[in-house]
């Protein structure tokens, strides 16, 4: 049995090792921040999509495979910086800045896909959102009810993410569509990421890391929403 050192601060312990009240507070804060991140994403997206001249932005972002490659590269860079900030152990303001930056980056990267969906099949957007949130809720309930440790998924997800990035890079380089099956695989991948991150909330994070935990969950939800929406759009072709 692990014995806590009373001379070390509680934030040095994992949530799993913390008192029940502190554990409950961490979980509550994490999902409150996640809800706020989702609401902020929706608000920013609505603002962007209703901005005059948004067609020009979409045309610039989607002007060619190299344009989209640059957009994705910038998104990955910003995401890396935002995640590092959100994981700061010394500055709460930097943590919030990281979460805010990531939400804005996600909103911008979603503009072309949502613009196309809004123009040609607006009904698929709420459908994709409902499917994503219901799936997220089901996976979350499964992890919380079983309390199982899914940390072993970390290595699998890392390899899978590198393979996915490689496939996306090759598709952009040679100009071919990855198709619906790739989207299905990515939805499964996002589901695995949700399970992994939810498990980390119960077993790995420290009490002061609720902002980083909410960012990780938001990233996985956004990834799932992206590919669920692509599947719905593909079914309309």
DSSP characters over 105-165: HHHHHHHHHHHHHHHH-TTHHHHHHHHHHHHHHHHHHHHHHH----TTHHHHHHHHHHHHH
Share of the chain above pLDDT 90, in %: 37
Higher pLDDT, 222 or 92: 222
- List the one residue out of 32, 1, 13, 5 whose CA is nearest residue 210: 32
Question: What is the residue extent of each domain of the chain?
Answer: 19-235
What's the CA gap between 88 and 83, in Å, rounded? Answer: 9
> What is the band of 13 on the pLDDT scale with cuts at 50, 70, 90?
low
Q: In whole numbers, what is the pLDDT of the chain averaged over residues?
A: 83
pLDDT digits (tens, 9 = 90+) for 95-153: 899 999 999 999 988 998 898 888 888 889 999 999 999 999 999 999 999 888 888 88
Higher pLDDT, 76 or 46: 46
- In this prediction, residue 64 carries a pLDDT of 64
pLDDT digits (tens, 9 = 90+) for 46-75: 999 988 888 887 877 776 666 666 777 777
| Segment among 151-155, 206-210, 214-218 with least mean pLDDT | 206-210
**Average of per-residue pLDDT across 169-178:** 75
41 contacts 107 by C-beta, under 8 angstroms: yes
Higher pLDDT, 169 or 6: 169
Phi and psi at residue 130, in whole multiples of 5°? -65, -45
190 contacts 132 by C-beta, under 8 angstroms: no
Cα 60–chain centre separation: 24
What's the CA gap between 168 and 173, in Å, rounded? Answer: 9
- In this prediction, residue 90 carries a pLDDT of 64
Higher pLDDT, 189 or 68: 189
- In this prediction, residue 87 carries a pLDDT of 77
């Amino acid at each position: 049995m692990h014995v806590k050192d009373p001379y070390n601060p509680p934030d040095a312990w994992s949530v799993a090792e913390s008192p029940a009240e502190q554990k409950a507070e961490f979980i509550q804060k994490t999902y409150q921040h996640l809800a706020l991140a989702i609401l902020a994403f929706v608000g920013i997206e609505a603002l962007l999509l209703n901005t005059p001249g948004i067609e020009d932005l979409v045309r610039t972002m989607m002007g060619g495979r190299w344009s989209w490659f640059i957009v994705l590269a910038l998104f990955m860079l910003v995401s890396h910086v935002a995640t590092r900030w959100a994981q700061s152990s010394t500055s709460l303001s930097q943590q919030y800045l990281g979460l805010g930056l990531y939400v804005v980056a996600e909103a911008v990267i979603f503009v072309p896909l949502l613009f196309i969906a809004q123009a040609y099949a607006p009904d698929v957007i709420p459908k994709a959102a409902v499917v994503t949130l219901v799936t997220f809720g089901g996976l979350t309930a499964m992890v919380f009810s079983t309390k199982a440790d899914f940390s072993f998924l970390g290595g699998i997800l890392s390899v899978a993410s590198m393979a996915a990035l490689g496939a996306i890079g090759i598709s952009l380089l040679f100009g071919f569509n990855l198709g619906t099956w790739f989207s299905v695989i990515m939805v499964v991948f996002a589901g695995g990421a949700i399970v992994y991150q939810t498990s980390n909330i119960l077993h790995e994070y420290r009490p002061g890391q609720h902002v980083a935990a909410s960012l990780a969950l938001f990233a996985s939800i956004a990834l799932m929403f992206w590919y669920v929406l692509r599947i719905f759009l593909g079914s309309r072709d």
